[in-house]
Structure 1
Amino acid sequence: MKTVLLVDDSATMLMSMKAGLEISGYRVAVAHDGEQAMSLLQGGLKPDLIITDIHMPKMDGIEFIRQARKTLRFTPILALTTEGQQARRDQARQLGATGWMLKPVRGGELLKVISQVSLQFA
């Protein structure tokens, strides 16, 4: 069973995405900000995929991607945000984000993107 780490400060987004992923057969770990996500990774969590919001308190998604890439070089990371600015997308990709999704993400759309990313990194 593949494990997905969801990182988002919105409890509603976490609950919605977690439920959809679990129904589809994924194991899901959640964190409410980049600091909490880094603690999970440093504690031994080895996700097959990370989905992170960009705008979060404590440690935002951009910094989280930067930090996570120091230890998880090949794990796909999808950036999730309401923001469509190309400069932020480019920054996230430069730091190691695999892809970018705009909120709100519907369940079918999320699973399609995960499937595409999984094929690339299988």
Structure 2
Amino acid sequence: MTAPEDRTPSDKPATRQGPTALVGVRPRGDVDLALKYLTSRSDASAQLALGVAAAYRWALGLAAQAPVTGSSAPHTPDLRLLTAEVDAAVVQLEDPTTQPGARDFTRGVHDALTWVCGYSDTRI
């Protein structure tokens, strides 16, 4: 699996900007820091880290397509869309035919978005 295509600056939505804006239930600044921190970590598997990064980028409105479903929205994803992507990740993770690399990517997306949505206190 590969990370979804990035948005160009002109495609980037203007909503939910600023340090106090929320991404899911987390302050935008916290999600930005989580993405920056992820790039400096080396203990996660490559596919897991790619999934986490894809999830954070999509949640921040920096990627045009959702990392698991590939769906696109004309705006930064709200909590409803973020939760739908978590649900899609759960379905894929429960599928015994999912290949290990894809499973790691999807696990990364799942774990990152559960934190963004407030379903977990563990930041990846």
Query: Shared topology, TM-score over 0.5?
Result: no
Greater relative contact order (Cα < 8 A, sep 6+): 2
TM-score range, shorter chain: 0.3 to 0.5
Structure number having the greater strand percentage? 1
Q: TM-score, normalised by structure 1?
A: 0.36
Q: TM-score, normalised by structure 2?
A: 0.36
